[in-house]
Amino acid sequence: GAVVSQHPSWVICKSGTSVKIECRSLDFQATTMFWYRQFPKQSLMLMATSNEGSKATYEQGVEKDKFLINHASLTLSTLTVTSAHPEDSSFYICSAGDRAGGAFFGQGTRLTVV
């Protein structure tokens, strides 16, 4: 299947700082990528849909000014958690779909805000 690479796999940051997470489709082009958040032992919650060359579409309740998404190319989307606080600590996962169908997920990023 297609490969989606997410970096970093884990990050610890101080409260008030910003953190950038990258999501790359390695062997296919993805016009749309998705960002999810997952709390321990819970399901994935869609945060936003990232569209190449245009603004992201955010799900209800997700602060777009806090979670900045940029989809600069067909193979790269970034999520920046701005002014992070301890309650933003979570597991963030991106996904992308190739032309053949099927959604492929990155390996996830464990964010811990201290």
Partner 1 sequence: QQQVKQSPQSLIVQKGGISIINCAYENTAFDYFPWYQQFPGKGPALLIAIRPDVSEKKEGRFTISFNKSAKQFSLHIMDSQPGDSATYFCAASMSAGANNLFFGTGTRLTVIP
Single out the residue of 114, 69, 71, 94 nearest to residue 8, CA to CA.
Answer: 94
Q: Which residues contact 43 (CB under 8 A, 6 or more apart)?
A: none
Q: In sequence order, what are the beta bridge partners of 76?
A: 24, 73
Q: Which stretch binds partner 1 (CB under 8 A): 13-21, 27-35, 62-70, 80-88?
A: 27-35
Residues 42-71 that bind partner 1 (CB under 8 A): 42-44, 46, 49
Is 101 an interacting residue with respect to partner 1 (CB under 8 A)?
Answer: yes
Is 93 an interacting residue with respect to partner 1 (CB under 8 A)?
Answer: yes
Query: DSSP secondary-structure letter at 74?
Result: T
Q: Which residues contact partner 1 by CB under 8 A?
A: 1, 4, 6, 30, 32-34, 41-44, 46, 49, 91, 93, 95-98, 101-108, 110
